[in-house]
């Protein structure tokens, strides 16, 4: 019987199935990257809801696993060498799960680095820039009189969408015919930009037809449909 009691996070979120991978998350664009990949792989896992309403991400139990107080985070009882592995940062988790399962990442070295390149493009560009645009368009920042900060993030988001659109021209997915963790990292953010952040017309999404075409294919995948709702909000 697997014992995860050495990890304080399991006191607040007890593992009903300690032999399964434990996911601590919320269905946000960063959170669903991991639930979508888990659904795609079919790995058995147990999702736990980290509620922002009750500031769960600030609790000592959560901070014991991720001192950066952000979802998603995982605890894999079957980590490297058969020992439990705790991990935070969605990009690191995607790489770990792709390597663990041997899926959604090209096997050849060059293809692997290229996939990591586009994953980093999402982690360092699309995520942070779209996130700031969300703040200035939908949340507290929308009331700021000075529109220059918002416009800066609109311009940068448009530039990033242009890079992505060009990459997708003549390719089904970011890596071509292969659907990879680069797609799983990127499209939840595009979906969020147009949907939850209500910034589709602001960034002129119609100017990026390859991006919207690939987004449609992404959200039509059954594993994506399921992953977008995991963990279920309370
Ligand atoms: N770079 C991190 C970012 C994670 C992140 O920003 N998570 C947000 C939700 S999408 C969060 O947990 N926010 C809670 C907080 O800041 O208190 C990753 O990709 O895992």
pLDDT score of 38? 98
pLDDT score of 123? 98
- CA of 70 from ligand 1 middle (Å) equals 4
**Lookup result for tokens 């439990």:** 84
pLDDT score of 33? 99
pLDDT score of 133? 98
The model's pTM is: 0.98
Q: CB within 8 A of 162, min separation 6: which ones?
A: 207, 208
Atom of ligand 1 nearest to the CA of 55: 17
Residues flanking ligand 1, CB < 6 Å? 28-30, 52, 57, 69-72, 89-91
Listed as ranges, residues in the chain with pLDDT below 50 are none
Tokens of 137: 């368009």
- CA of 88 from ligand 1 middle (Å) equals 10
95-127 burial, b at 16+ Cβ within 10 Å, e below that, comes to: bbbbebeebbbbeeeeebebbbebbebbbebbb
pLDDT score of 218? 99
pLDDT score of 54? 97
Q: CB within 8 A of 53, min separation 6: which ones?
A: none
Q: Are the C-beta atoms of 233 and 56 separated by less than 8 Å? A: no
């Amino acid at each position: 019987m697997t014992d995860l009691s050495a990890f304080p996070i399991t006191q607040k979120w007890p593992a009903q199935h300690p032999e399964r991978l434990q996911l601590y998350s919320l269905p946000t664009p960063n959170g669903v990257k991991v639930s979508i990949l888990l659904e795609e792989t079919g790995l058995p896992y147990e999702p736990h809801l980290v509620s922002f309403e009750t500031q769960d991400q600030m609790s000592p139990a959560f901070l014991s696993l991720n001192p950066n107080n952000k979802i998603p985070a995982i605890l894999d009882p079957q980590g490297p060498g058969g020992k439990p592995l705790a991990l935070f940062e969605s990009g690191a988790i995607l790489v770990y799960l792709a390597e663990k399962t041997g899926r959604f990442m090209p096997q050849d070295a060059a293809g692997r680095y290229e996939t990591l390149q586009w994953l980093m493009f999402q982690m360092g560009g699309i995520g942070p820039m779209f996130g700031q645009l969300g703040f200035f368009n939908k949340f507290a920042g929308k009331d700021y009189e000075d529109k220059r900060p918002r416009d800066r993030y609109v311009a940068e988001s448009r530039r990033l969408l242009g890079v992505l659109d060009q990459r997708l021209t003549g390719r089904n997915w970011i890596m071509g015919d292969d659907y990879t963790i680069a797609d799983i990292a990127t499209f939840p953010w595009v979906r969020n930009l147009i949907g939850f952040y209500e910034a589709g017309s602001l960034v002129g999404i119609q100017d990026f037809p390859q991006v919207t075409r690939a987004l449609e294919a992404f959200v039509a995948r059954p594993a994506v449909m399921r992953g977008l709702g995991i963990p279920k909000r309370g």
